[in-house]
Amino acid sequence: MAKVLVVTSGKGGVGKTTTTAALGAALAQSGQSVVVVDFDVGLRNLDLVMGAERRVVFDLINVVQGVAKLSQALIRDKRLEYLWLLPASQTRDKDALTDEGVKSIIDDLRTRFDWVLCDSPAGIERGATLAMRYADEAVIVTNPEVSSVRDSDRIIGMLDSKTVKAERGERVEKHVLITRYDPARAARGEMLSIDDILEILATPLLGIIPESQDVLRASNVGSPVTLNNADCAPARAYTDAARRLLGETVAMMVPTERKGLMDRLLRRRAA
């Protein structure tokens, strides 16, 4: 059974696109067939993070409007056999998306893939509501800042009322993913604590992604962070999150600061 998962947040710049790419790649690495769909019509970015920007011919809007077939718009990842991208249009705006068009595309994608990951635009307008409209599950990306947490709270309210599942009286399964978590600032008490965030959002935690230069480096070379350097801390956190999405039980690691030379020399106890 295909699962449609929306990656959303309300606030911009918290890491939705990075998360979509990283989770998509991690799921594909574990043998699932995955399509990542960019809903940010007019401000697309997922193609860049996936390193497929030079191979975009047709896009989501072309398919919605019947100009191109879905199979023409899908782009296969060069590194992973089971990972596909459906890019957004950069020249149009969100009004080009229609409810019926999105529904027919999602229905079609459900028959072709195990996972359909929808990268939602920021905000609570048409693009964001259509991205979540047909979702079975949602990953709410949150930074440990009050503004981000409040926007996430708003989005969770919309997931509980504006989605097709909610209108049928069912529930969209929701997960909170905390990104850009800075252990040093957390230690100094400059950020909202994990407990506070979860208390406010009252939603289960999917993972904690530490703030890292590796994320920036990966998106600059057009590679999901889980593919670019699978051993770095954010990549491992994303991989764990993807395993949790697949139903595995993985112990939650709260990122801590690496302290010094001794920590670096004696990083891990051998098995």
Partner 1 sequence: MDVRADPTRQLVRLRGRSYVAFVFSPVVPIVEWLSEIDATLARSPGYFVGKPIVLDLASVDLSASAISHLLGSLDERSIRVLGIEGVDESRLAANMPPLLTGGRACVITRNEPAQKAEEPKEEPKPKPTSLLLESPVRSGQSIVFTDGDVTVLGSVGSGAEIVAGGSIHIYGTLRGRAMAGVNGNSAARIYCQKIEAELLAIDGYYQTAEEIDPSLRNRPAQAWLQGDTMKITPLN
Q: How far is the CB of 137 from partner 1 (least distance, A)?
A: 18
In the bound state with partner 1, the residue whose beta carbon lies nearer, of 2 and 200, is: 200
- Rounded least distance, CB 47 to partner 1, Å: 31
Please say which residue, 168 or 268, places its beta carbon nearer to partner 1: 168
How would DSSP label each residue in 106-145? HHHHHHH-SEEEEEPPSSSSHHHHHHHHT-SEEEEEE-SS
Q: Least CB distance from residue 153 to partner 1, whole Å?
A: 4
Nearest approach in angstroms of CB 178 to partner 1 is 17
CB of 62 to partner 1, least distance (A): 22
Nearer to partner 1, 150 or 243 (CB): 150
> Which residues contact partner 1 (rule: CB under 8 A)?
124, 146, 150-151, 153-154, 156-158, 160, 199-200, 202
| Contact indicator for 268, 253 with CB cutoff of 8 Å | no
CB closer to partner 1 out of 146 and 216: 146
Between residues 16 and 174, which has the closer beta carbon with respect to partner 1?
174
Cα 72 from Cα 95, distance rounded (Å): 22
